[in-house]
């Protein structure tokens, strides 16, 4: 794992450029206003090769679709907002299970496969009615209302470590708090936010990121290299360099391979800190659950640090999934 440290003066440069300059710059930020910044890291090559990183869509959703669909149905939810639609994989799974879905993403490039799927399956009512929009998390409620949508969703989902793309520009997580508040504000009372992040406790401690997990199990994955940026000794950004191998054209599955590489950057949300961030947004009395990899529930005493047998730094869970209900 490569580690960088910046002091206060260097920190201002980082915030202006949103990049790890000594390693490799990320994509530029797109802005609606100086204080409304959403990163689109999926320009160019990343969007082209994302399906190769995901692998089989069918095999991916098998890992969690039953749990997610059952949870939504048990709560009586029907109208879902997918705020990290990307190529549409989770939205499609929900549509196929009878949910009414509105899908958004900040990256128009990543939405192209979803739009193509909607067109190719337009004769199916669910897909003909599928709403897909480009929108900004930091102006989400206004964006949706300006587009003509009622902001009273039963559930908001933000999966695949997507929320971690939103950086902390001012050391107080203001952008992240704004986005979470907007997720809350587009829910009806009794609606839930279902949001996840990688197990950054483990990544920071071990210095490595698991190559395969519940979401990403492609045979094309060769390696993921982890780099970490500290600002004033606080972890501020993790860069993951993804290496994929794909067969060269005409060589067959056992022939020569092309190596495809791309980088994405993330804010390293720690389990207990992210739990507090959500509770600050929804209120301490909001109904709250956390599971590891859509499987084992994390108990309250574990989240509160009262169970000495549970240590997020050594727990090799790949993803934590949080569900919190709006009062």
* Cβ–Cβ under 8 Å, residues 319 and 293: yes
Q: Which residues pair with 49 in a beta bridge?
A: none
Using DSSP's 3-state secondary structure scheme, residue 1 falls into: coil
* Cβ–Cβ under 8 Å, residues 260 and 221: no
What is the spatial distance between Cα 271 and Cα 263, in angstroms, rounded to a whole number?
24
* Range 237-260 burial, b when 16+ CB lie within 10 A, else e: bbbbbbebbeeeeeeeeeeeeeeb
Residue whose structure tokens are 């048990």: 74
In a 10 Å sphere around its CB, with 0-12 CB exposed, 13-18 middle and 19+ buried, how is residue 281 labelled?
buried
What is the spatial distance between Cα 39 and Cα 204, in angstroms, rounded to a whole number?
23
What is the spatial distance between Cα 298 and Cα 16, in angstroms, rounded to a whole number?
38
What is the spatial distance between Cα 67 and Cα 238, in angstroms, rounded to a whole number?
29
Catalytic residues: 42, 160, 165, 198, 216
Kind of pairing, strands 257-266 and 131-134?
unpaired
Q: Which residues pair with 226 in a beta bridge?
A: 240
- DSSP output for 120-164: HTTTSHHHHT-EEEE--GGGHHHHHHHTT--S-EEEEEE-SS-GG
Count of Cβ atoms closer than 10 Å to residue 168 Cβ: 19
Chain centroid to Cα 161, Å, comes to: 3
Residue whose structure tokens are 């530029």: 28
């Amino acid at each position: 794992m490569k580690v960088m440290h910046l002091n206060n003066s260097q920190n201002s440069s980082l915030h202006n450029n949103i990049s790890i300059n000594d390693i490799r710059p990320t994509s530029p930020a797109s802005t609606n206003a100086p204080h409304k910044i959403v990163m689109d890291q999926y320009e160019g090559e990343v969007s082209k090769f994302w399906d190769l990183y995901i692998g089989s869509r069918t095999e991916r959703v098998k890992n969690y679709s039953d749990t997610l669909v059952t949870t939504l149905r048990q709560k009586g939810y029907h109208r879902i907002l997918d705020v990290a639609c990307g190529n549409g994989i989770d939205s499609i799974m929900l549509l196929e299970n009878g949910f009414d879905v509105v899908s958004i993403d900040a990256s128009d490039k990543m939405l192209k496969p979803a739009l193509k799927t909607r067109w190719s399956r337009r004769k199916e009512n669910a897909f003909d009615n599928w709403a897909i929009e480009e929108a900004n998390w930091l102006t989400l409620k206004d964006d949706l209302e300006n587009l003509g949508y009622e902001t009273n969703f039963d559930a908001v989902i933000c999966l695949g470590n997507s929320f971690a793309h939103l950086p902390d520009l001012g050391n107080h997580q203001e952008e992240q708090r704004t986005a979470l508040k907007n997720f809350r504000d587009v829910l009806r009372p009794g609606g839930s936010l279902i949001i996840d992040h990688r197990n950054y406790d483990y990544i920071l401690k071990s210095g490595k990121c698991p190559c395969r997990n519940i979401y990403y199990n492609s045979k094309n994955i060769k390696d993921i290299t982890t780099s970490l940026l500290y600002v004033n000794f606080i972890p501020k950004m993790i860069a993951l360099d993804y290496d994929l191998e794909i067969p060269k054209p005409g060589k067959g599955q056992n022939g020569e391979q092309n190596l495809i590489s791309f980088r994405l950057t993330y804010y390293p949300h720690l389990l207990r800190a992210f739990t507090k961030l959500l509770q600050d947004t929804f209120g301490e009395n909001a109904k709250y659950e956390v599971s590891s990899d859509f499987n084992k529930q994390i108990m309250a005493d574990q989240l509160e640090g009262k169970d000495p047998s549970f240590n997020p730094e050594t727990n090799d869970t790949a993803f934590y999934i949080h569900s919190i209900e709006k009062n």
